């Protein structure tokens, strides 16, 4: 039987946008020493807006660069794709067809468009493949960047900006008062990660992490003796959510993430994690 105090807390939690799927996860929440946050859609609003389109090839105009990119992004569900498709709509550009679309997990997308091989890809992918970041490249520290490569030639890049959620700073600060560390874990570039983590006063950040490396990062923290909660939304986050001591799926994300996690944050609000921990502490204090 579920003790009354737990049942009451679970109902209270629901009011705060927390869906407790696994009572152990709720019970364990009071032991959390580190919360690992994903960035996009949890600490940030998760809506990318195109801020710049830059051509690095005199034969390709800005509109052509985003037109080619949009052909690939119409097949992707990433928030970056949503931002690029919105911009193309605003510019009234017709999106061309794609063949052989492929998503490269945590790095970008590739496909054939009008007979040309197109990549829309992260700065990390360029480094890894020893493709030099071109002269004339500039982006703000708060901007996410994707490069557009056409038939192995650098065509240009698109910068996108997202906004930090108004609730995030308060949530991180409350965790700090409870002596709980907060770490940012993201596939985005280190400049953006450093900027978000600094703005919010987080303890550290881990950037340019590929989906299959997230699990390893959680394990490493656990080996240091941390009791780790992790938030995640993507299909790719499921193994790391399962490894975390408390896995927290954020609402609008994939069903697979929600199935793996013990807790679901219905409104993706970081303050609800603070509520979870405080409820957990209050509930089990009453029971002792």
Residues assigned a catalytic role: 38
DSSP strand pairing (144-150 vs 153-161): antiparallel
Cβ atoms of 148 and 155 closer than 8 Å = yes
Say whether residue 241 binds ligand ADP (CB under 6 A): no
- How many whole angstroms separate alpha carbon 147 and alpha carbon 136? 13
From 85-93, 103-111, 165-173, 256-264, give the range in contact with ligand ADP by CB under 6 A. Answer: 103-111
Nearer to ligand ADP, 36 or 246 (CB): 36
Cβ atoms of 189 and 201 closer than 8 Å = no
CB-based contacts of 284, cutoff 8 Å, min separation 6? 27, 30
Say whether residue 251 binds Mg ion (CB under 5 A): no
Tell me the H-state helices in 201-261.
214-223, 238-243, 255-260
Say whether residue 76 binds ligand ADP (CB under 6 A): yes
SS3 assignment, position 187 = coil
> Please, what is the minimum distance in Å from the beta carbon of residue 44 to ligand ADP?
9
- How many whole angstroms separate alpha carbon 110 and alpha carbon 130? 18
Say whether residue 80 binds ligand ADP (CB under 6 A): yes
Say whether residue 124 binds Mg ion (CB under 5 A): no
CB-based contacts of 182, cutoff 8 Å, min separation 6? 34, 35, 37, 172, 175, 176, 200, 202, 203
Q: Which of 18, 81, 126, 248 binds ligand ADP (CB under 6 A)?
A: 81
> Please, what is the minimum distance in Å from the beta carbon of residue 220 to ligand ADP?
18
From 57-65, 180-188, 194-202, 279-287, give the range in contact with ligand ADP by CB under 6 A. Answer: 180-188
- How many whole angstroms separate alpha carbon 217 and alpha carbon 185? 9
Say whether residue 46 binds Mg ion (CB under 5 A): no
CA nearest to 274, candidates 163, 186, 167? 167
Say whether residue 251 binds ligand ADP (CB under 6 A): no
Say whether residue 106 binds Mg ion (CB under 5 A): no
Window 39 to 58, contacts with ligand ADP (CB under 6 A): 39-40
Q: Which of 122, 161, 197, 269 binds ligand ADP (CB under 6 A)?
A: 122
- Binding track over 215-244 against Mg ion, x by CB under 5 A: -------------------x----------
Tell me the H-state helices in 53-204.
62-73, 79-90, 123-128, 168-177, 190-200
Other beta carbons less than 10 A from residue 171's beta carbon: 23
Cβ atoms of 253 and 235 closer than 8 Å = no
Instruction: Please choose which of Mg ion, ligand ADP, none residue 144 contacts, taking the beta carbon within 5 to 8 angstroms, the exact cut-off set by kind.
Output: ligand ADP
Instruction: Please choose which of Mg ion, ligand ADP, none residue 80 contacts, taking the beta carbon within 5 to 8 angstroms, the exact cut-off set by kind.
Output: ligand ADP
Say whether residue 186 binds ligand ADP (CB under 6 A): yes
Nearer to ligand ADP, 32 or 71 (CB): 71
From 3-11, 89-97, 183-191, 257-265, give the range in contact with ligand ADP by CB under 6 A. Answer: 183-191
Binding site for ligand ADP (CB under 6 A): 38-40, 73, 76, 78, 80-81, 106-109, 120, 122, 144, 146, 186-188, 211, 234
Binding site for Mg ion (CB under 5 A): 234
């Amino acid at each position: 039987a579920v003790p009354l105090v737990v049942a009451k807390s679970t109902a209270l939690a629901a009011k705060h946008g927390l869906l407790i799927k696994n009572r152990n996860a709720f019970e364990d929440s009071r032991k959390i020493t580190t919360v690992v946050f994903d960035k996009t859609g949890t600490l940030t609003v998760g809506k990318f807006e195109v801020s710049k389109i830059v051509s690095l090839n005199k034969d390709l105009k800005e509109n052509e660069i985003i037109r080619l990119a949009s052909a690939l992004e119409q097949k992707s569900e990433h928030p970056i794709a949503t931002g690029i498709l919105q911009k193309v709509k605003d510019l009234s550009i017709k999106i061309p067809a794609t063949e052989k679309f492929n998503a490269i997990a945590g790095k970008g997308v590739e496909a054939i468009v009008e007979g040309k091989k197109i990549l829309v890809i992260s700065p990390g992918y360029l480094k890894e493949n020893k493709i030099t970041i071109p002269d004339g490249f500039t982006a703000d520290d708060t901007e996410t960047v994707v490069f557009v490569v056409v038939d192995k030639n650098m065509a240009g890049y698109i910068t996108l900006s997202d906004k930090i959620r108004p609730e995030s700073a308060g949530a991180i600060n409350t965790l700090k008062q409870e002596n709980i560390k907060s770490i940012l874990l993201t596939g985005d570039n280190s400049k953006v990660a450093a900027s978000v983590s600094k703005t919010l006063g987080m303890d550290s950040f881990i950037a340019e992490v590929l989906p299959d490396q997230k699990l390893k990062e959680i394990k490493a923290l656990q080996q240091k003796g941390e009791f780790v909660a992790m938030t995640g939304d993507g299909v790719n986050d499921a193994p790391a959510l399962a490894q975390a001591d408390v896995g927290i799926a954020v609402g609008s994300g994939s069903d697979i993430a929600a199935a793996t996690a013990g807790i679901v944050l219905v409104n993706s609000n970081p303050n609800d994690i603070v509520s979870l921990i405080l409820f957990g502490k209050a509930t089990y204090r009453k029971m002792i």
